[in-house]
Amino acid sequence: GIGDIGQLYREHPELAERPECNLALGAARSALAETGAALELLDAAAEGFAARRENDRLVVTLVALADTWSRHNEWEITPARFGTSKPRDASQARQVRREQIARLRERVAAMPDSAAGLAQIDLLIAQDLLQDADTAPAGQELLEQLAAAAELAPPVVAATMALAERYEAERRWRDASKLYERLTREGDQVVSQKASQKLAAITSPQLRLEVPAASPIGRPVTLALAARNVGAVQVEVRRLDLQSWLTARQGRLNEAHLPVAGSLQFSRRIDTPVAQAHDWWESASAGPVEFEAPPGAYVVCVESADQSHVEPLKRLLIVSDLATVAWVGSEQAVIWGGKNPLSTTAPEDLASLTGDFWMAGSFVPTQPQFTAGVARMDLPPEARVLRDRRWVCLLRAGEHLALCRGELPQDSGGPKVAFTGGPAEPQPGGILTLAGLVLDHGVKWQSTPAEWQIEIRNALDETLATLPLSPTAAGMFSVDLPSPESWSGEHLRFVVRRDQRVAENLAPHLLIGVAQAGRKEFVTCPTDSSTLHCDAENLTASINAWLPWGAPASPTQLSSVLRVVRLPDETNDFQPIASDALRIPGWHGHLPVTTPRPAGFELPLPLNLLDMPPGPTAGGLWVTFSAWNGQQTKTLIEFLCAAEPVHAWIQTDPAEPVAGRPVQVRLGWFDPTR
């Protein structure tokens, strides 16, 4: 937008005298934090509107000036017309901003019908005052004045929302609720939705529950409870057969689905009185909620004991002297089990340590084998095929349990390879060669050799063949694949797998099309074999074609379209000029072909018919060969008529740079070989 307006200013200098143009450009500069230039443009716009006595636009401009001053920090390029010098420190800079905004407020206050603009400036002043602890009370008082307005204008909405959030921070729930209720009733859809969400967060019943991550035997278990808008809560602790429950749920551990049917270990009803409505009651200040339990797994459930409609909270608690840590990668896991660091003694049955490892969705857990409290294991197949990357590990030593859970690393990315192949269009019955490099073949910690294979699939994603790969010690592999007659006309793609896991190909996407059996068609040579001869007098193209399966039995036809562009330079003010498409009269007849040598002829290109101005010119020649049976082949030849093989141009904006002003530099080029 700024570039377009700047271009208009250069083409029409008189626009700089129009205040609405200065207002538009100044607002754009201000939005990009270019406040120094924005102040000058907006002040010029204000002078123009004042001279034309357009008070409505003048108020808008003065508000934009105040907003720009509130964010101004480019003191080195502050316009001299404001008579300010570079402040010594941040405190003086804030004082300068406040003085400038105060002057603008006085101007707006003196104008008729300026209440909306005055409210916007007052909001800026309040936001600035709230940033300093010494002036924050004055800023809050100004917000209260704005929020008391009868009409809910945009600055009033912003002031009301900011004031309600400050009341929340001060725990003035009732005052904040009243403000949110007004915004919900009178605000637009976006404001009303946001305010209703904040109001619900204050007035709706809520519970919080935290249990210790690991509770040793012989110490009381302390629960952290919090309740809001709930008169009383009921706390229950029940036994849980954790291994059976995880097996039934295929390793999916979701505390919301924990059962509460086990034997009751602890139960208590707790009143939750608060000093003011909507305040939080917390057990940390009201008194601890504690109980003792023998080793095992438990479900801690908290629910409201009054008429409050709130979902019960459930948490998993394990009381044990056993602890576990698991390091889980993309292929393997290392699991440790030992003494809980909070316990005074280790479990007696630590030597008989066993465990179960589930990927979320596993039908059967994997059981790691421990030696001296440590086990290393390959991840189960579900880790490679399931989308859910969560895992759970449960260890047992007698009656002691330990649980560890997490997710597979997201940055593992799986195996990686780089491979390519050719030819791009093999004949049915021919040989297709694939070669590549396994990028992580040298990983040393693999417990068993990896099994590599490559799948050949068609456009319908059907597997046509699967071949084993045998990478060398350096990770290189190569395979020759016969393409049977049944693959005639198929478009092939390739998938490499390691242990059934898809390997990412870091090389460019490989797509090979097998030629149609018995099909004879024209194939043009690559573009570098179809050349153009350019000089000032004449322009001709050497058109070559080769027919890999013999000469056609009928005449061929050539059609071509020429289009050129006069490239930018200083003679045309860096503006490209494009021509219309010129269809060149067709050529009809037998190609003088001797297979497999290419056939060719010279095609004159009437560049003079395009009526283009002299100078560097780029063009494209679209050539189509056609046969009587409808078979076609097409090619594009790009060319450049210029003094050099590559034409480049550079342009500055403005054309004559001025010291201290930004300069935009545009560089362009055309290279027909790229």
CATH for 597: 2.60.40
Domain assignment present for residue 325? The answer is: no
Domain assignment present for residue 665? The answer is: no
- 124 and 53 together in one domain: yes
Instruction: Say if residue 417's pLDDT is above 90.
Output: no
Which pLDDT score is estimated for 573?
Answer: 76
- 474 and 363 together in one domain: no
| Domain closes at, from 268, 289, 319 | 319
Domain assignment present for residue 266? The answer is: yes
- 528 and 612 together in one domain: yes
Diameter of the chain by CA atoms?
102
Q: Give every CB contact of residue 564 below 8 A, 6+ residues apart in sequence.
A: 578, 579, 607, 610, 612, 617, 618, 619, 620
- 99 and 157 together in one domain: yes
- 359 and 275 together in one domain: no
- 244 and 293 together in one domain: yes
Instruction: Say if residue 177's pLDDT is above 90.
Output: yes
- 389 and 496 together in one domain: no
Domain assignment present for residue 674? The answer is: no
224 and 210 in contact (C-beta within 8 Å)? yes
> At which residue do the structure tokens 């709130």 appear?
310
* Tokens matching residue 259: 């059962």
184 and 192 in contact (C-beta within 8 Å)? yes
Instruction: Say if residue 444's pLDDT is above 70.
Output: no
Q: How far is CA 160 from CA 7, 105, 124, 442, 651, in A?
A: 42, 21, 14, 63, 50
Which pLDDT score is estimated for 597?
Answer: 45
Question: Tens digits of per-residue pLDDT, 249-270?
Answer: 999 999 999 999 999 999 999 9
- 44 and 98 together in one domain: yes
Domain assignment present for residue 660? The answer is: no
Q: Order the strands of the 416-422 sheet from edge to edge.
A: 476-482, 431-438, 416-422, 504-505
Tell me how many domains the chain contains. 5
445 and 533 in contact (C-beta within 8 Å)? no
- 84 and 166 together in one domain: yes
Q: How confident is the model at residue 404 (pLDDT cuts 50, 70, 90)?
A: very high
Instruction: Say if residue 276's pLDDT is above 60.
Output: yes
Classify the phi-psi angles of 52: left when phi > 0, otherwise alpha if psi is within -120 to 50, otherwise beta: alpha
- 88 and 198 together in one domain: yes
Q: How confident is the model at residue 618 (pLDDT cuts 50, 70, 90)?
A: confident
| Domain closes at, from 203, 229, 253 | 203
- Domain CATH for 502: 2.60.40.1930
Q: How far apart are CA 609 and CA 586, in angstroms?
A: 16
Instruction: Say if residue 523's pLDDT is above 60.
Output: no
Which pLDDT score is estimated for 173?
Answer: 93
Q: How far apart are CA 202 and CA 629, in angstroms?
A: 77
Q: How confident is the model at residue 445 (pLDDT cuts 50, 70, 90)?
A: very low
Which pLDDT score is estimated for 412?
Answer: 52
- Segment 404-423 mean pLDDT: 81
Q: How confident is the model at residue 102 (pLDDT cuts 50, 70, 90)?
A: very high
Domain assignment present for residue 673? The answer is: no
Instruction: Say if residue 40's pLDDT is above 50.
Output: yes
- Segment 124-151 mean pLDDT: 92
Q: How confident is the model at residue 595 (pLDDT cuts 50, 70, 90)?
A: very low
Q: What is the mean pLDDT of the chain?
A: 84
Mean pLDDT comparison of 332-341, 447-456, 517-526, 620-629, highest-scoring range:
332-341
Helical pair 136-147 and 154-169, crossing angle rounded to 10 deg: 130
Q: How confident is the model at residue 524 (pLDDT cuts 50, 70, 90)?
A: very low
- Domain CATH for 193: 1.25.40.10
Domain assignment present for residue 11? The answer is: yes
Mean pLDDT comparison of 475-489, 559-573, 598-612, 633-647, highest-scoring range:
475-489
Domain assignment present for residue 327? The answer is: no
Burial class (CB in 10 A: 0-12, 13-18, 19+), 231: middle
Name the residue range of residue 372's domain. Answer: 332-407
Instruction: Say if residue 180's pLDDT is above 90.
Output: yes
Of 186-200, 308-322, 399-413, the poorest mean pLDDT is in 399-413
Which pLDDT score is estimated for 594?
Answer: 39
Instruction: Say if residue 596's pLDDT is above 50.
Output: no
Which pLDDT score is estimated for 630?
Answer: 58
- Segment 363-383 mean pLDDT: 92
- 183 and 215 together in one domain: no
Question: Tens digits of per-residue pLDDT, 525-584?
Answer: 433 434 555 554 566 776 666 555 455 555 567 777 778 888 888 787 777 888 777 777
Instruction: Say if residue 181's pLDDT is above 50.
Output: yes
Question: Tens digits of per-residue pLDDT, 285-306?
Answer: 888 899 999 999 999 999 999 8
What percent of the chain has a predicted confidence (pLDDT) above 70?
Answer: 87
- 59 and 190 together in one domain: yes
Instruction: Say if residue 442's pLDDT is above 60.
Output: no
| Domain closes at, from 407, 425, 454 | 407
Which pLDDT score is estimated for 9?
Answer: 72
